[in-house]
Amino acid sequence: MNLHQFKFVQEAVRRNLNLTEAAKALHTSQPGVSKAIIELEEELGVEIFARHGKRLKRITEPGQHVLASIELIMREVGNLKRIGEQFSAQDSGTLSIATTHTQARYVLPVPVAKLREAYPKVNVSLHQGSPDQVARMVIDEVAEIGIATESLADYAELVTMPCYEWQHVLVLPQGHPLADKERISLEDLANEPIITYHPSFTGRTRIDHAFAQKKLTPRIALEAIDSDVIKTYVRLGLGVGIVAEMAVRDDTNADLVVRPMGHIFGVNIARVAFKRSAYLRNFVFKFAELLSDRLDRNLIAKALSGQHQDYEL
């Protein structure tokens, strides 16, 4: 058996058992992929995949165990490569970060700039997506570190750690009746057209949950993944906006009134994620430490090795 066979099995699973798509991703032929998998099955003495004709239909029970072992082997192969990179070029390389738009736009600029000061030979590659896409990019090793508020803690393949807390804020145009109200209630918001995040982004689940608990139905006028877009439509008078507090922290425009909403929507926790048992280079640890004073190299290393459980704030 060899690593090529392991890669072919992995890619077949990633491509929903479509060998043609797996072959394209691996830049090889479909018959070559099929033959390599069959040869591995013959050597192991078990079928990894159940078939209908030449098509793969599902992963067999022994195949699930084989796949788990292959994932472990390929992860360690990746670690070996990174160890080589670490010792041949300890202060250079590429840091790949998977994150959401809000994190990339409002949270990461300062730590990225500080990392570049400390490691001027390190290039940074930002991959943006939904929280679920962020998790998948870390699992698939497209990125070494993921940062998001939702979803990251839902994946067993990831080690996740809390990074910082934040709350939602209400943004209102100047002169709006709610701007002068001492304490805004959920009932007040239920009477307004609301502009806020798409359901899978930036703590939107907390917003929906708060309304559901009070048996209220929010009047969602517009959903977006970009806080700047939300603020733009608030300025145009389409409704009141609910955004993350970091999206208004450095906003110098005085045409919007900002009111904290933690008393209604609670506190959100942004988390960082690493793939379990991953080997991290020095500058990845450094970047995590720049993200939050709650994170340090020893704590992350213990968590990756299984010596420290995921924890909450």
Helices (H), 19-59: 19-26, 30-44
Treating both helix axes as pointing N-terminal to C-terminal, what angle do 61-88 and 3-14 enclose, rounded to 10 degrees?
Answer: 110
At 229-274, the pLDDT tens digits run: 999 999 999 999 999 999 998 776 678 999 999 999 999 999 999 9
Residue 279: HSE in the Cβ half-sphere, 13 Å Cα cutoff: 15
Q: How far is CA 259 from CA 6, 41, 81, 140, 283, in A?
A: 54, 62, 49, 40, 38
Q: What is the pLDDT of residue 288?
A: 95
Q: Are 272 and 291 in contact (CB under 8 A)?
A: yes
DSSP state of 154: G
**pTM value?**
0.70
Across the range 28-42, mean pLDDT stands at 93
| Mean of per-residue pLDDT scores for the chain | 90
Distance of alpha carbon 122 from alpha carbon 116, whole angstroms: 7
Q: Are 209 and 199 in contact (CB under 8 A)?
A: no
At 259-268, the pLDDT tens digits run: 999 999 999 9
Q: What is the pLDDT of residue 1?
A: 85
233 burial (CB, 10 Å; 0-12 / 13-18 / 19+) is middle
| 3-class DSSP assignment, residue 61 | helix
Q: Please name the residues in contact with 96: beta carbons below 8 A apart, sequence gap of 6 or more.
A: 125, 127, 142, 143, 144, 145
Tokens of 146: 């993921």
DSSP string, 221-277: EEEES-HHHHHHHHHTTS-EEEEEGGGTTT---SSEEEEE-HHHH--EEEEEEEETT
Q: Per-residue pLDDT for 146 more than 80?
A: yes
Confidence tier at 313 by pLDDT (50, 70, 90): very low
Confidence tier at 152 by pLDDT (50, 70, 90): confident
Q: How many residues would you count in the chain? A: 313
How many CB atoms are located within 10 Å of the residue 94 CB?
A: 12
C-alpha dihedral sign at 197, 200, 202, 208: positive
Q: What is the pLDDT of residue 90?
A: 61
Distance of alpha carbon 174 from alpha carbon 82, whole angstroms: 53
